[in-house]
Structure 1
Amino acid sequence: MSAYRRRLRSDRGAASTQLVLVVPALLMIALLVVQFALVWHARHIAQYAAQRALAVARTQGGTAADGQVQARRSLAALGSRVLTASSVSAERTAARTTVRVDGTVIRVFPVPGLVLHASGTASGPTEKITTLAGGQP
């Protein structure tokens, strides 16, 4: 067998070629997993902030502004790095209070134009104190 044919059949460099092809794909998969874990975490942060804000805004003496302040405090304490460019909206009527927290999730996966959002909404009846007869105290 000639030396040329032996060189063609040899496995020299096969590991390097496999490494060059497989490692970037594995890294991209790992980054995708981390990115979507951050999206999941950011949704939980937004939902938590909305629930905390609802608890403040729906009370007898609470206002929608009080709920917004509480949501911003919760976001600052938990998710200022994960959930960026956040916005809080609160609406309080005589019957129902609703708080919505939106934001953009920090980007780990290097894809141009990839913008992921997370939001949380909490809604509940507005609390009011009434007497047994149904009137105001």
Structure 2
Amino acid sequence: MTAFLHRLRSDRGSASTQLVLVVPALLLTALLAVQFALVWHARHIAQYAAQRALAAARTHDSTAADGRTQARRSLAALGSRVLTAPSVTAERSTAQTTVRVKGTVIRVLPVPGLVLRASGTASGPTERITIPTGGQP
């Protein structure tokens, strides 16, 4: 009977039980950190593409289509694998130009229904040539 009680109090096998419980939690934590780093990176890519597109679309001789083309070029160079299915919209008026870049972030965690999105927006005045009025320079 004493041998039986000694076996019940023994901690034999507890290390493997702890390993089975702790390692998946650590892996999940690491994958969550990687996933949110990818979201952060994708937001910066979208913002960079929007700023580049704004610079191309707001000049005097350009159009909104020039901005969309520049955004797609920037996305192809930087974020074709991180920011998937990007969409670019550019609106240009005589006073204001606005570019929006949106996309879906690549998934690291195989969670059904998890869709993470990233977007960037840049807006600024449209360039126009003005003639000074008033006195002598």
Bucket of the pairwise TM-score, normalised by the shorter protein: over 0.9
Note the residue ranges of structure 2 that are not aligned, 5 or more in a row. none
Q: SS of 2:53's equivalent?
A: helix
* RMSD (Å), alpha carbons: 1.0
User: Separation in 1 of the partners of 2:103 and 2:133?
Assistant: 45
The offset of 1:2, in angstroms, is 1.1
Aligned runs of 1:1-137 on 2, under 5 Å?
A: 2-133=2-133
1:117-136 deviation per Cα after TM superposition (whole angstroms, max 9, x unaligned): 000000000001111129xx
Relative to the length of structure 2, the TM-score reads 0.96
User: Separation in 2 of the partners of 1:70 and 1:101?
Assistant: 11
AA in 2 matched with 1:21: L
User: Separation in 2 of the partners of 1:48 and 1:118?
Assistant: 12
The offset of 1:37, in angstroms, is 0.4
What is the count of residue pairs matched by the alignment? 134
AA in 1 matched with 2:33: V
AA in 2 matched with 1:92: R
AA in 2 matched with 1:131: I
User: Separation in 2 of the partners of 1:13 and 1:110?
Assistant: 31
User: Separation in 1 of the partners of 2:79 and 2:8?
Assistant: 57
Runs of 4+ more than 6 Å apart: none
Note the residue ranges of structure 1 that are not aligned, 5 or more in a row. none
Q: What is the percent sequence identity of the aligned residues?
A: 81
AA in 2 matched with 1:25: A
Q: SS of 2:48's equivalent?
A: helix
Relative to the length of structure 1, the TM-score reads 0.96
